[in-house]
A and B are shown apart, each in its own frame.
Chain A
Amino acid sequence: MNYPLHLAILVLLWGYIYTSWSLMGRLGMVSFGHGAFMGIGAYAVVMLWNHFGLSPWIGALVALAATAVVAVLIGYPCFRFRIVGHYFALVTLALSEVVRLLITALRDQTGGSLGATPKGALTEGTTVAIGAMQFESKLVWLGIVAAAWLAGLWVWRAVDRSMGRLALQAISEEEEAAASIGIHVTKAKLRITIVSALMTCVGGILYAQYQLYVNPDTVSGIAISLQMVFGVIAGGMFVMLGPTVGAAFTLLLAEGLRLAFGNRYPALDITIYGAMLVLFIIHMPNGILGAALERFRRRRERSLLKAAA
């Protein structure tokens, strides 16, 4: 019972993180830097707890503040000076690596590439330590990540229905024309970036507290950022549940590979992500869910036409 529950938690948690990423990605801002925001979230709470005994709830506030600062520091110059498309992807890619390298370099504090474990607060007999954000029961975690996931979907929909979404879509096509009709381009982009980054940071915090282990390679860096991009594109970035489908897909793929090959080929999943990413972009740009919905819609239209004829 534990393993399926574990998988369900991971699907929802990654579904939430992918949804957060897609807020930007679907509007033409493809970030390879979200690993950085996740890493800041995960490491900030664990380090503050281990070194200063600061509750992860307080740590979360620090992590969110730090994330917002980093998002603005990277976002503002990019948006102000019109660094878009591939160039934006490159800048964010660098950010992602900077955070990973920083974590690795500060090994005396962070444990370096070996990772770190938050000090256990669950003693014999206690299964819940609210102050330390540690819960033994996987059901509790399922509840927590499900709530985060639903909140993420709610934000996605709110953004989808807003004028801001139309504005960002216009910006992604014709930035100068968008500015000429009164849209403050930098502000519009910065806003969605901050929302997306903060949500991803929360994802990092939850991931760290659920796994009770953080490692620079699993919560930051290129690999995790690429995984997000791949997951969302595979699932479908223009439909609400696309990122979640992508999360299920990437997780099943990773688990399947692990069961089939064990740990013999450690970077195999990333290699396959890369290859499949290319295939998806060429053959299924709307992702699995996007393509399925499209097919369903067409079939219905056809049967409606038949019924009318």
Chain B
Amino acid sequence: MLLEVSQLTKTFGGFTAVNRVSFGVAEGEILGLIGPNGSGKSTTFGLIAGALAPTAGSIRFRAEEIGGLPAYRVAHRGIARTYQIPRPFRKLSLLENVALAAYYGSNEHLSREKAFALAEDCLKLVNLHESAVDRLGAAGLKKLELARALATQPKLLLADESLGGLDHAEMEQAADMLADIRAKRGITIVWVEHIMGVLMRVVDRCVVLDHGEVIAQGAPAAVSQDPKVVEVYLGTDAFA
């Protein structure tokens, strides 16, 4: 297993956002982490990426404990993330946004020139052309998030892709892009999503969260038949 999360717990005061969550991610896999809004997906991501410190439990990456490490160290270990709500650096150019990630995120200590060259590659990979950050729409900002994460040359990509704000074609594109990234770069991906339809086509396995707990995991087809999962999603358009 590339990543092994076990008994991971995070409480905020009296509220338990993530409750003894355990799952593993195999090398080269695309894992879908799904669940309705507020089910603890993004908190789980924050814990793995080092933005939050776990209350209990362990996170092992390449057989080493990374739970509680600061975010920049987790990045250096080879984990990159994107944010559900894009967080671009608006005062910087598109290329600078990505070059910064290449320069600081990789373990190899790239030169400035190499960092900018790598940034150009990453922008090409996600089909973004140089423009002002402020002119990017929702889909463009998502792509920028992805390019920035890829520029750190990760082994594991945590893609927080709540695809809200995108139309159907854009969602399909985003899904294809993730599949493409795995195929071309061999990057393992954990994909967070609350809409199941698009995701099911691309992922190898799913972990379903509800109220901070894992309620099902397994192959997409089996998970989508699981009565508990159906119940959680019943009455929503999640399967649309």
> Do A and B bind?
yes
Taking Cβ atoms with an 8 Å cutoff, the residues of A that contact B are: 163, 166-167, 169-170, 172-174, 176-185
Closest residue on chain B to residue A28 by CB atoms = B91
Interface majority SS on A: helix, strand, loop or mixed?
Answer: helix
The 9 A-B pairs of least Cβ separation, nearest first, read A182-B105, A182-B75, A181-B101, A179-B71, A177-B87, A182-B104, A170-B89, A174-B87, A181-B105
Listed stretches B23-31, B76-84, B190-198; interface member: B76-84
CA distance in complex: A41, B72 (Å): 35
Do the beta carbons of A180 and B100 come within 8 Å of each other? no
Give which listed residue, B75, B88, B90, B115, contacts A180 with CB less than 8 A: B75
Interface size class of B (residues with CB under 8 A): 20 to 34
The answer to whether A181 and B87 have CB atoms under 8 Å apart is: no
> Within the assembled complex, what's the spacing in Å between the Cα atoms of A170 and B98?
11
> Are B103's CB and A163's CB within 8 A?
yes
How far is the CB of B126 from the nearest CB of chain A, in Å?
15
B148 within 8 A of partner (CB): yes
21 contacts between A and B (CB under 8 A): A163-B104, A163-B112, A169-B92, A170-B92, A170-B100, A174-B89, A176-B71, A176-B87, A177-B83, A178-B100, A179-B71, A180-B80, A181-B80, A181-B104, A181-B105, A181-B152, A182-B75, A182-B104, A182-B105, A184-B72, A185-B72
5 further A-B contacts with Cβ under 8 Å, apart from A167-B104, A182-B76, are A166-B96, A173-B91, A179-B75, A180-B83, A181-B80
**Looking at chain B's contact residues, is the secondary structure mostly helix, strand, loop, or mixed?**
helix
B104 touches A183 (CB 8 A): yes
B51:A179 contact, CB within 8 angstroms: yes
Which residues of the other chain, B, contact A177 by a CB distance below 8 angstroms? 83, 87, 89
Binding site for A on B (CB under 8 A): 49-51, 70-72, 75-76, 80-81, 83, 87-92, 96-97, 99-101, 103-106, 112, 115, 148-149, 151-152
* B89 and A182 contact, CB distance less than 8 A: no
Q: CB within 8 A of B106: which of A173, A180, A182, A183?
A: A182
With a cutoff of 8 Å between Cβ atoms, the chain A residues found around residue B99 in the complex are: 166
The CA-CA distance from A185 to B83 in the complex, in Å, is 18
Chain B residues within an 8 Å CB radius of A178: 89, 100
Chain B residues whose C-beta falls within 8 Å of the C-beta of A183 in the assembled complex:
72, 100, 104
Contact B92 A179 (CB under 8 A): no
User: Which residues of A sit under 8 angstroms from B100, Cβ to Cβ?
Assistant: 163, 166-167, 170, 178, 181, 183
CB distance from A156 to the nearest CB of B (A): 18
- Evaluate contact between A182 and B72: CB separation under 8 angstroms: yes
Contact (A181, B92) CB under 8 Å given A163-B100, A170-B100, A176-B87: no
Q: How far is the CA of A219 from the CA of B120 in the complex (A)?
A: 49
- B219 CB, min distance to chain A CBs, angstroms: 31
Compute how far the CA of A173 lies from the CA of B99 in the bound complex, rounded to whole angstroms.
Answer: 16
